[in-house]
Amino acid sequence: MAVESKPLLSVHDLRVNFRLDKHDKNSGFAAVKGVSFEIPENSTVALVGESGSGKSVTALAILGLLPPENATVLPGSQILYGGRNLLELPKSALRSLRGKDISMIFQEPMSSLNPVFTVGYQIAEVLRLHMDLTPRQAQTRVVELLNEVGIPDPAAKSIAYPFQLSGGQQQRVMIAMAIACNPRLLIADEPTTALDVTIQKQILELLAALQDKHRMSVLFITHDLAVVGEIADHVVVMRDGEIRERGTNEAVFSNPHDTYTCALLQCRPPLDSRPRRLAVIEDFMDGNCPAPETEVSKRGLSGSEPVILEVRNLGKSFYTREGLFGNREFKAAHGVSFKLPRGKTLGVVGESGSGKTTVGLTLMRLHEATTGEALFEGRDLFLMSKAEFKNYKRRIQIVFQNPYASLNPRFTVGQILSEPLLIHGIGGSDAKRTRLVNELLEHVGLPQVSYHKYPHEFSGGQRQRIAIARCLTMKPDILICDESVSALDVSVQAQVLNLLQDLQDEFSLSYIFISHDLAVVKYMSDQVLVMNQGEVVEYANSDEIYLRPQHPYTQRLLNAIPKAGERIRGKISAN
């Protein structure tokens, strides 16, 4: 922990408005409404909030990177750095600050690196711009930096192009670029969100080590309070453009004053217990911090449940052309076998590239399987003709990851939900179909007026409800949830998980729950299938996986999960 001293940077009453319509001067949206906080020297400040909280806008305002055509910083706002107000600095002065004194890391390393230059060149560019180094000196420094951020064989990697590096390495390069000029403040905007959980842990450790070594300050922006718990000295919680809570790490985590902070901490599915329902934001908004639910649901299988789907030795290979006639085989998944009992949930967990999504898509025959069989009530789904399979499509449905992409933007909700009924001839008449759709809307917690609305009028969580309702129209037996809650904010994620749980209880649905998030998978599933690089490394009851992980990979996954959430939950339930 850092010693308190005078602030390096202080934000005072920052207010930012966005113009929504370029023709209407009055259409404004207040993204940041009077935010004040300080970043002390040599410490890490975490800015936490869900989407739309204004945390990224605040960071961009510090760097002067807000789009001038539709963002206005209201008068009275101040961002003081070294005695100067950054908001009033001329552009040239600001430019010489950026990258040298204050630098930034973004969420997506792949899109922040220029694909046509080597990483060494891109790091050297920063050095040349701000440090006046000769090319030879710059090259030496580049290798030093790459070494410092933990890239193996730095000299060779400095002439690699971004696409030749993995996601974690790319983020390390971004960090190397950011610390190249020994900045005094590093702004990290969701630097680990796009990364796998094991890589996330490494990057967090790297950032903490660098912060200490270079005696710089870090402004760490994230939606995930648990991540913050490990590295931040100070925590600022934002919601809807306002600061809800501000304090030291200890204070915020052990004794949160604000109900919203409480809610954020409790909406995440806990690893060590399994409450029957997850807390949602509404539970907290009446002003008090309720204790976590103590009623726990039991999970796991005894082995005697009736099996609805049995998958044996499923494999899927992709082929890429190589040379004139050659084919290179890439095994996305192979040797995957499992049994799914009726009314139970099978969790599939793994990092990117583990083949978990491939398994889901292959079962739906959205990809054709290369090998193996999938016995659904004794019949192999993979051997059916297209016409035969159409009837089975009704019974296996899938909810995709991104509710913004999986709903056709040109259809109204009514059309989206009636379409499956129409295709499969369910319902008979239009009037009856409309009634069915309205019933379903109510079921997933959406008002009936949604019928005539378009998807873009709904929030992410509401859209995911629509996607779930679309699957339910066909009354499926199996629902495949492919990262269905990964793109949602923590509080919304809890609502959708609760909904899925209710629907399973009501319709005795079987779920195949695919996610990279072990905590969510463990919370939802009876059994868990851990996948790595296309192979199943562990397959057991979910509590078994958590308590007694057998495979080293599973252990690594478990270790990488930030534990801050558990800390607070322990505190609250103890009180």
Partner 1 sequence: MNPFLDTPQTSPGLWALAWRRLRADRMAMVALAVVAWFLLTLLLSAAGFIAKDWDAEIGVNYAPPTFMGAQSAEERGVQGMHAAEVATPDNPRDPLRDIIRQLRAEREGGANPALVQFDDYGIADPLAAEIAEIRAAQGQRNTTAAIEKRATLPLGADKWGHDIIQKTIKGSETSIVVGLTAALLATVLGTLFGAVAGYYGKWVDDCFNWFYSVFTSVPYLLLILAVAAVLQQKGVLTIVLILGLTGWTGVFRLIRAEYIKHKNREYVLAADAIGASDLRKMFIHIFPNISHVSLVQMSILTVAFIKSEVILSFLGFGVPVGMASWGSMLNEAQNELILGKWWQLAAASAAMAVLVTAFSLFTDALRDALDPKLK
Closest separation in Å from C-beta 457 to partner 1? 6
- For residues 20 and 29, the answer to whether their CB atoms sit within 8 Å is yes
Say which residues have a Cβ less than 8 Å from residue 12's Cβ, sequence separation at least 6: 36, 77, 78, 79, 80
Is there binding between residue 450 and partner 1 (CB under 8 A)?
yes
Closest separation in Å from C-beta 390 to partner 1? 5
Contact pick of 1, 3, 449, 574 for partner 1 (by CB under 8 A) = 449
Of 32, 30, 42, the C-alpha closest to 11 is 32
User: How many residues interact with partner 1 (rule CB under 8 A)?
Assistant: 34
Contact pick of 1, 3, 6, 23 for partner 1 (by CB under 8 A) = 23
Closest separation in Å from C-beta 197 to partner 1? 23
**271 vs 364, beta carbon nearer partner 1:** 364
Is there binding between residue 461 and partner 1 (CB under 8 A)?
no
Is there binding between residue 95 and partner 1 (CB under 8 A)?
no
Paired sense of beta strands 78-81 and 84-85, if any: antiparallel
- For residues 341 and 510, the answer to whether their CB atoms sit within 8 Å is yes
Is there binding between residue 563 and partner 1 (CB under 8 A)?
no
What type of residue is 230? E
Contact pick of 398, 529, 531, 561 for partner 1 (by CB under 8 A) = 398
Contact pick of 294, 409, 506, 575 for partner 1 (by CB under 8 A) = 409
Radius of gyration of the chain (CA): 26
**304 vs 320, beta carbon nearer partner 1:** 320
**199 vs 479, beta carbon nearer partner 1:** 479
Between the alpha carbon of residue 92 and those of residues 95, 105, 125, 320, the distances in Å are 5, 21, 18, 49
**406 vs 532, beta carbon nearer partner 1:** 406
Closest separation in Å from C-beta 478 to partner 1? 12
Could you give the CA distance from residue 384 to residue 406 in angstroms, rounded to a whole number?
A: 26
Between the alpha carbon of residue 354 and those of residues 108, 114, 358, 520, 537, the distances in Å are 20, 27, 9, 17, 10
How many other CB atoms sit within 10 Å of the CB of residue 153?
A: 11
Is there binding between residue 402 and partner 1 (CB under 8 A)?
yes
**374 vs 467, beta carbon nearer partner 1:** 467
Is there binding between residue 401 and partner 1 (CB under 8 A)?
yes
Closest separation in Å from C-beta 70 to partner 1? 11
Is there binding between residue 376 and partner 1 (CB under 8 A)?
no
Listing DSSP states for 325-376 in one string gives TEEEEEEEEEEEEEEEETT-EEEEE--TTSSHHHHHHHHTTSS--SEEEEEE
**161 vs 454, beta carbon nearer partner 1:** 454
Instruction: Look up residue 242 and give its DSSP letter.
Output: E
Helix (H), strand (E) at residue 57: helix 55-63
Q: Which one of the spans 100-108, 467-475, 507-515, 565-573 is the region binding partner 1 (CB under 8 A)?
A: 467-475
What type of residue is 52? G
Closest separation in Å from C-beta 439 to partner 1? 17
Could you give the CA distance from residue 100 to residue 410 in angstroms, rounded to a whole number?
A: 46
Say which residues have a Cβ less than 8 Å from residue 9's Cβ, sequence separation at least 6: 38, 39, 62, 79, 80, 81, 102, 185, 217
Is there binding between residue 19 and partner 1 (CB under 8 A)?
no
Q: Alpha-carbon torsion 180, 186, 189, 192, what sign?
A: positive
**296 vs 423, beta carbon nearer partner 1:** 423
How many other CB atoms sit within 10 Å of the CB of residue 216?
A: 23
Is there binding between residue 443 and partner 1 (CB under 8 A)?
no
What type of residue is 267? C
Closest separation in Å from C-beta 308 to partner 1? 18
Q: Looking only at residues 205 through 224 of this chain, which bind partner 1 when binding is defined by CB under 8 A?
A: none
Is there binding between residue 393 and partner 1 (CB under 8 A)?
yes
Closest separation in Å from C-beta 145 to partner 1? 37
Instruction: Look up residue 384 and give its DSSP letter.
Output: S
Q: Looking only at residues 472 through 491 of this chain, which bind partner 1 when binding is defined by CB under 8 A?
A: 474
Secondary structure of 257-320 in the HEC alphabet? Answer: CCHHHHHHHHHCCCCCCCECCCCCHHHHCCCCCCCCCCCECCCCCCCCCCEEEEEEEEEEEEEE
Q: Which one of the spans 184-192, 205-213, 396-404, 564-572 is the region binding partner 1 (CB under 8 A)?
A: 396-404
Q: Looking only at residues 353 through 372 of this chain, which bind partner 1 when binding is defined by CB under 8 A?
A: 361, 364, 366
Is there binding between residue 559 and partner 1 (CB under 8 A)?
no
Can you give the binding site for partner 1, defined by CB under 8 A? 21, 23, 361, 364, 366, 390, 393-394, 397-398, 400-402, 405-410, 412, 419-420, 423-424, 447, 449-450, 452-454, 457, 467, 470, 474
